Amino acid sequence: MDYVRVGDKVISINKINDAIDKILELRCKGYSQQEVAKILNIDRTFISRLESIGEVRKGGDIAVVGFPIANKRELEEKLREAGVDYVFILTEEERQNFVKEQNATQLVNELLEIVSRVRKYQHCIILASNFRSKLLADLLDAHVYTIDIGKSPLKNDVEVDVDSVLKIIETIKG
C-alpha cells in the first residue's frame, strides 16, 4: 500500500482509490448519488464533486501531441481520418533535431508557441512519458487525456496503440 503523511494523519492512497472505484461502480449500476452516499456512509456532495473532477465533456475540437512515436505516419493518418484538428507528433530523431537546430531562445519561443496553439483546443490527447504527460497536462487549459507510453526519460521511439487513441476520440466526439 502507498501511504502519505498529511499533517498528523497517515493516509492510504489504496483505500481512497478503492472507495472511488466502489462509488463509480455503484453509480454505473444506476444508483443515485444519494443512494451511493447512504450505502457507503459518505456525503452526497463528495460524490458530486468527485464526478465533476473526472467529467469529460463531449464534442469540441481536438489536438493530439505525442513523442517519441514509432508508428508516427500510421497514427497521423488515422487521426486525420478521425477528424482531429491539430496533430503534433515526433519521432525521437525528429525531437532531437528539433532541439539541436535551434538556439536556446528560439527553442523556448517555439515551445511556448506550440503550447499556446494547443491551449486553444478544447481537448488534448498527450502521448508521452509519464513525466512529460503530467507536465504538459499541467500547462494546458484543455480537457487533457494522457496516455503514458513509458517511464521518463524515453530514449527510443515507442509503438502506440492507435485503436486506444481512436477510442478516446470517439468518446470525446460522442
Under DSSP, the state recorded for 2 is: -
CA distance 2 to 172: 32
pTM for this entry: 0.68
Residues in CB range of 166: below 8 A, 6 or more apart: 78, 82
Closest to 64 (Cα-Cα) out of 78, 43, 50: 78
Q: What is the pLDDT of residues 80-110, one digit of tens each?
A: 999 999 999 999 999 999 999 999 999 999 9
pLDDT in tens, 20-55: 999 999 998 998 999 999 999 999 999 988 888 876
CA distances (Å), origin 12, targets 5, 9, 16, 136: 9, 10, 7, 27
Q: Does an H or E element contain 66, and which?
A: strand 62-66
